[in-house]
Structure 1
Amino acid sequence: MSNKYEMIIYWSEEDKAFLVEIPELSGCMADGLTYLEAVANAEIVIQEWINTAKELGRTIPVPKGRLMYA
């Protein structure tokens, strides 16, 4: 899979896992016990988010790349 959406990746001490947020896709998040696992899971969730949006006839945001506030 390949996407161009920005991912914000950080360690959560509370969850004992890496969390990934995809700000351009509302509610799209993933996690993993390792950094690489979290990114791989995020790739899957992004594709699932896009597929669901298509099925529901919703607009899919165009990736903007690096966001200024991140």
Structure 2
Amino acid sequence: MSFFHANQREALNQSLAEVQGQINVSFEFFPPRTSEMEQTLWKSIDRLSSLKPKFVSVTYGANSGERDRTHSIIQRY
């Protein structure tokens, strides 16, 4: 493994707290289809929030059920 790849691998394995303020990020989330997936979504958002994303988006689905969930998530966020 090259030195460059070793450094990339090490950076990817750092905890989120260690890279806070060193990177600029944004996140796109997909609306969850089940209540279990929604719980996972909120846990993910909570964990990733420490990175202070520049923006967050939620995909606006083509069918009405996904659109309703998208609106619900945006309102809660």
Shorter chain as denominator, the TM-score bin is 0.3 to 0.5
Q: TM-score, normalised by structure 2?
A: 0.30
Higher strand share: 1
**Higher share of residues assigned helix:** 2
| Higher Rg | 2
TM-score, length-scaled by structure 1: 0.32
Question: Whose RCO is larger (CA < 8 A, sep 6+)?
Answer: 2
